[in-house]
Amino acid sequence: MSTSPTRQRLINAASQRFYRDGFREVGIDQILNDVGISKTAFYKHFQSKDDLMLAVMDEQDQWLREHFRSMVNKLGGSEPRARLLALFDAVDQIVRLDEFRGCFFVNVAMEFPLPHDPAHVAAAANKQAMQEIVMQLAREAGADCAEKLAKELMLLMEGAYVTRHVTGDEEAVSTARDAAAVLIDRRLASAS
Domain boundaries, given as residue ranges, for the chain: 1-46, 53-191
Average pLDDT over residues 50-67: 95
Average pLDDT over residues 117-142: 96
pLDDT for residue 190: 77
Continuous H helices in 113-145 = 118-141
In angstroms, the CA 10 to CA 45 distance is 9
The helices-and-strands tally (H runs, E runs) of the chain is: 9, 0
Q: What is the CATH superfamily name and number for domain 1-46? A: Homeodomain-like (1.10.10.60)
In angstroms, the CA 113 to CA 79 distance is 39
In angstroms, the CA 166 to CA 73 distance is 28
> The domain 53-191 is classified under which CATH number: 2.60.40.3140, 1.10.390.10, 1.10.357.10, 1.10.1060.10?
1.10.357.10
Question: How confident is the model over 92-107, as pLDDT tens digits?
Answer: 999 999 999 989 999 9
Residue 3, pLDDT above cutoff 90: no
> What is the identity of the amino acid at 108?
V
- Is pTM beyond 0.85? Reply is yes
